[in-house]
Amino acid sequence: MLDPRLKSFAQATNYAALTTLFSNGDPQTHIMWVDANDDHLLLNTQKGRAKYRNLLADPRVAVTIFDDNDPYRFVEARGRVVEFRHGAEASSHINRLSWKYDAKDFDGPLDQRVMLVVEVHRVIAHL
């Protein structure tokens, strides 16, 4: 079961910073839309992006979700991507995220979308 503070932050309209690792160990961080279910953090990217390639090689991640009203309040999650979901499920997920953050359908290509399912091992909250 996902930490309730983390789940609450992920299900609100807060943005997340996703950090992945290149093969040489260098980190890469991107601001992302984020969501959660009862057990996992859920993010969405596109095939071919560096973060996607990084995760195929090394699934470890750090995800920091910032309170959109006070960025000094945040919840950090450390874990790993345990599943890559493609196809209709990933397309539907990016549309749900787009409605959550932008109140409209996602306006990019849907055929290359990938939903990232993150299993969380550690949570650090600064609230």
Structural domains of the chain, count? 1
Can you give the pLDDT at residue 59? Answer: 98
DSSP element (H, E) containing 93: helix 87-102
Q: What is the mean pLDDT of the chain?
A: 97
- Whether pLDDT at 109 is above 90: no
Domain containing residue 109: CATH number = 2.30.110.10
pTM comes to: 0.95
Residue 96 pLDDT more than 90?
yes
Closest CA to 15 of 28, 33, 30: 33
Alpha-carbon span 7 to 3, nearest angstrom: 6
Q: What is the DSSP letter of 39?
A: S
Domain extent at residue 114: 4-126
Three-state DSSP at 55 gives: helix
Residues paired with residue 124 on neighbouring β-strands, in sequence order: 76
